[in-house]
Amino acid sequence: MHFGATLRMLRVDAGFSLRGLAESVGVSSAYLSRVENGHDAPPTPDRLVAIANALGVAPVALVGLADRVSPVVSDYLARVPAAGALFFEIARRELTTAQLARVQAFVEKEFPVRERAAPAEPRIGPLVARGGVVSEMTCSQLDDVLDIAAVRLARATRSAVATLSKALRQREQEASTAIGAGVSVPHAIVQGVEPAAVLVTLRRPLAVATPDGLPLRVCIGVVHPPEHGRLLSLLAHVAGLAREQFVEHLCAARDPRRALALLE
């Protein structure tokens, strides 16, 4: 997953220009452009929280994508930024495994865990179960992938194929939905439709422009009603799955049931 490309995708879907988002979070548009193009590292946690709030997506989504840490940790850091200072002090002192065990024992004694129900978040698996899986598709251009995605999504949502095909193409023209690791997430926003997705794996990698230079191998097409926050959270969830090893497993799963199991 390419963080900058994912941020650009979320920004475009949130309706922000590069300058508009930069101004809303107090950074320069040049800096934000460098982040989106992968020239600068992901922003600091406090800036990520500000960006997430501006986009209307849960801070845990962006912090988790940038840090590649457990959602529990990233959610806590987003809610309690002061915790980062404690983590820094632990790292600065280079505590050993034995010393960390002493710290953990103290924490467990003084602050026992109180179980909380995990907040529900959009998941791509159930939506793909609705739209289906197309394995080892052969195509020569991205439009071929969009066409098959439109057909399957139209069937799943009882929508017009032409409407979905046009919407997918228009969104792709606004900004690429390639997010790295050989994954693209073309999507269409359609009023009144039930959310659905389709997983398309390619027999031969497709040479299209991608943020990390890796050819396209997996396409997850999505149709969603204009529920801003849930759509962005869903796209962030998919981006979190986009790892090269995960893509290898998806492409090797020729049985649709195996592919669906990987997305659960």
Mean of per-residue pLDDT scores for the chain? 87
Do residues 97 and 177 both lie within one domain? no
Do residues 103 and 188 both lie within one domain? no
183-184 and 216-224 strand pairing: parallel
Do residues 102 and 220 both lie within one domain? no
Give the angle 24-29-31 at the CA atoms, nearest 5°.
110
- Inter-residue contact 167 to 226 (CB < 8 Å): no
Q: What is the structure's pLDDT at 41?
A: 85
Reported as a single tens digit per residue, the pLDDT across 197-251 is 999 999 999 999 999 999 999 999 999 998 877 899 899 889 988 888 889 999 9
How many domains does the chain fold into? Answer: 2
- Burial annotation 112-148 (CB, 10 A radius, 16+ → b, else e): eeeeeeeeeebebbebbbbbbbbbebebeebeebbbb
| Cα dist from 204 to 33, 88, 244, 251, 259, whole Å | 32, 45, 16, 10, 18
The domain boundary, picked from 104, 120, 136, lies at: 120
Do residues 195 and 145 both lie within one domain? yes
Q: What is the structure's pLDDT at 118?
A: 47
CATH of the domain at 198: 3.40.930.10
Do residues 131 and 228 both lie within one domain? yes
Do residues 234 and 112 both lie within one domain? no
Do residues 136 and 108 both lie within one domain? no
CATH of the domain at 13: 1.10.260.40
Question: pLDDT-derived band of residue 151, with 50, 70 and 90 as boundaries?
Answer: very high
Do residues 249 and 140 both lie within one domain? yes
Do residues 162 and 104 both lie within one domain? no
The domain boundary, picked from 55, 89, 120, lies at: 120
Question: pLDDT-derived band of residue 154, with 50, 70 and 90 as boundaries?
Answer: very high
The domain boundary, picked from 120, 152, 184, lies at: 120
Q: Please give the helix or strand (H or E) that residue 105 lies within, else none.
A: helix 97-110
> Is this prediction's pTM over 0.85?
no
Do residues 192 and 218 both lie within one domain? yes
Mean pLDDT value of segment 12-38: 94
Exposed (0-12), middle (13-18) or buried (19+): which is 83, by Cβ within 10 Å?
middle
- Inter-residue contact 235 to 241 (CB < 8 Å): no
Do residues 77 and 62 both lie within one domain? yes
Do residues 155 and 234 both lie within one domain? yes
| Cα dist from 113 to 13, 71, 107, 178, whole Å | 38, 17, 9, 40
Reported as a single tens digit per residue, the pLDDT across 89-142 is 888 888 888 888 899 889 888 888 665 544 557 789 999 999 999 999 998 899
| Cα dist from 235 to 58, 91, 117, whole Å | 12, 33, 23
Domain hosting residue 75, numbered range: 1-120
Residues 6+ apart with CB under 8 A from 30: none
Residues 6+ apart with CB under 8 A from 167: 188, 189, 190, 223
